[in-house]
Structure formats: C-alpha cells, structure tokens
Amino acid sequence: MTDRLLLPMRFANGTVAPNRVWVAPMTNKQSHEDGRLSDAELIWLERRARGGFGVIESCATHVTESGQGWPGQWGIYSDLHTPGWRRAAERMQSHGSMLFAQLFHGGERAHRAQGRAIVSCVSSGTPGRDDEVRQLTPAQIEALIEAFADAACRAADAGLDGVELHGAHGYLLCQFLRADLNTRTDGWGGDLPGRARLLRRVMQTIRQQVPASFVVGVRLSAENGTFLTGLDLDESLQTAQWLCDDGADFIHVSLWDAHLNCSKRADVHPARVFRDALPEAVPVITAGQIWTRAHAHQQLDHGADAVALGRAAITTPNWPQQVVRDGKEPLMPPVSAQQLRDRDLSETFVTYMKRWPGFVHTDDGGRPAK
C-alpha cells in the first residue's frame, strides 16, 4: 500500500503535486552577488529533486534589488535572472519535481548595502544613520505590488510551476501584518483589513496576471514566536481565509516547532485550526522540526495536507525515498561538515549552517535517529 506521504496532492487551481513532501525554502547564500543562479545552488536543489521531493521551494528570492535580505541571495527582480530560473525549472522537472519560487522583500530586515534605502510599513531609527528605516509611501506600495507581480510573471515565463509569497518570519509582507508595528492610518495599516491589504493586493494582482494552472500560495507565521511579535492566531486565520478568497492555491503555515499546539489554543494543533478554517480545496502545508516519517504522519493526522522539510532535507537529500519508501531513518544532527559537502552543500552553505547550534560538529561522525 502506498504511503500517504507519497500520494499526489491537488492544489486549489487543480494542478497536482506528485507527492506531499516538500523542500522548504532555506537561506543558503550560494548564488551570485547580482542575484543570478549559481551552479552551487542548482546542484543543491537538484540533489533533492533526484531524492524524490515532490515540490522544491527556492530560497526566499527578492522581487526588487533593494529588497535583498542577505549576500548571495538568488534574485528574481530582473530579466537577467530568467535564464537561471528556466534552467532550474528544467532540472527539477526532469526528475518529476515541481519548482516554486518564494517571492520576498526584506523590508526593515533587508541587507544594508552601501547607499541602499531600507523601507517598511512605518519609519524607525535615526534619519541619515545606518539604522534608518523609511516608511513606504502609497505610490511606493503600488510599485511594490507590481514588482511582486512582475516576479511571478517572470517565474511563470521561465517555466516554474508556481510561487509562494513570503508572508512570514518578520519580512516585509509580515511587517505589514504585525499589529504592534504597522500603525499606519492611511488604509495600509491599523486594523486587520488595513494590515492585510498589501498581502491581499499582491495575491490578487498576481492571480490576474499568471495562467490559471500556475500555483500561487502564501507562507504565514501563525502566531508570535521567539523573535516575532504582533501576530494573533485568529487574525492569521482570517488573513488566510481572505487570501483563499483572493485565489491562494495553498497556505503554508511556518511553525517554530510543528510538534507543539497553538499558544492561544493550547488544546489544538495549528494544522487542525487552519485545516478547519479554510476551504477543503486549499491544501495546508506545515513546517518546523519535522525529521522522521512518524513526525510527518503526525502532521497529516493533525490536518496538514503536506509537509515541508528544512534541515531534514539538508541531511537526508533523498528523504522521500530513504525514510518514507524504504523505512530507514534520516541522518540526524550533529553532522560533520564533510557529510554536508557529500550532500552537495557548497562551502558557503556549510559555513552558514555552522551558525545553527548543535547542527555541525568537527569530527567525521553523524548519527542515525533513534
């Protein structure tokens, strides 16, 4: 009998994913400084496509040059980037995987490169100093909406299967959603309809400009987290419902720990809350410390339709084959730098992963899950 993780999954627009195991969007800093795709980033992603992941999500990719979040970020703000996206789509699809670009703007968390203005929903910091953040004007917001739409069209033209709007983790779209940050009084902030207006307009505009078969989803943070404030579970549910009305094909709920119930509703899991609140045709995807087959099945039991793996996809690039199909255990941290190199992480990516406590050690061993 086929494991349910390996069954196809239908999006709201009718497009079908080959299975229910995704590679989550992950920062890796491997691409070129001008945003072009590098061979290193392509190799890293293609290894996971060969390993059986049904949907490969790119790292967060910036829709404007000034929205870049970190050095070495893959970009989608210029036609200069289109050949790389086309190449990546062809490679992923040759292995039976879908490729989604995660569309992103860093907002107040953007990379502070020389001479680059940092923007958000409201201003902060000291004018003329490095910590200055400028409030976006209504005209700039409209231009930003078009930049997201242009990026989505660029992805569709390059042959990708879809895009995901990054409305989580405190980046620009999430900054507009935050009640403790977005205090604007001009219709782009304040109450929830105002705070959700930017994200909704981006979804509506993209949906109008891309083919009906092109998948458009959203990633949301459900509640406050260790480094994130101003988010309320009920407001996140309402925002997700509005986005479904606007044409979202899936809702990706990013969780700090997918094994925990909601903070606001301690008796229920976030996947169940979102699944019950959203139309049946709109899949719910969860992510957050999902390592084993049992972990993934727990998410499906809670109500998720698919799971997105981050660090587990790093250590075990053939996770759907090794863990789900063959019943073996994933490689669990701590892992060695050489083990990461053997799994097609470049030296830049390996160095970045050393920042995660307990993930990389200096000896040659790795240990299987217990």
The average pLDDT across 242-248 equals 99
Instruction: Output the pLDDT for position 202.
Output: 99
Is the distance from CB of 21 to CB of 306 less than 8 angstroms? yes
The average pLDDT across 188-196 equals 99
Q: Domains of the chain (ranges plus CATH)?
A: 4-328 (3.20.20.70)
Contacts of 68 (CB under 8 A, 6+ apart): 35, 62, 75, 106, 110, 111, 113
52-96 pLDDT tens trace: 999 999 999 999 999 999 999 999 999 999 999 999 999 999 999
Q: Please tell me the distance from the alpha carbon of residue 326 to that of residue 178, in angstroms, as a whole number.
A: 43
319-351 pLDDT tens trace: 999 999 999 999 999 999 999 999 999 999 999
Instruction: Output the pLDDT for position 363.
Output: 56
14-50 pLDDT tens trace: 999 999 999 999 999 999 999 999 999 999 999 999 9
Is the distance from CB of 248 to CB of 12 less than 8 angstroms? yes
Which pLDDT band holds residue 368 (cuts at 50, 70, 90)? very low
pTM above 0.85, yes or no: yes
154-185 pLDDT tens trace: 999 999 999 999 999 999 999 999 999 999 99
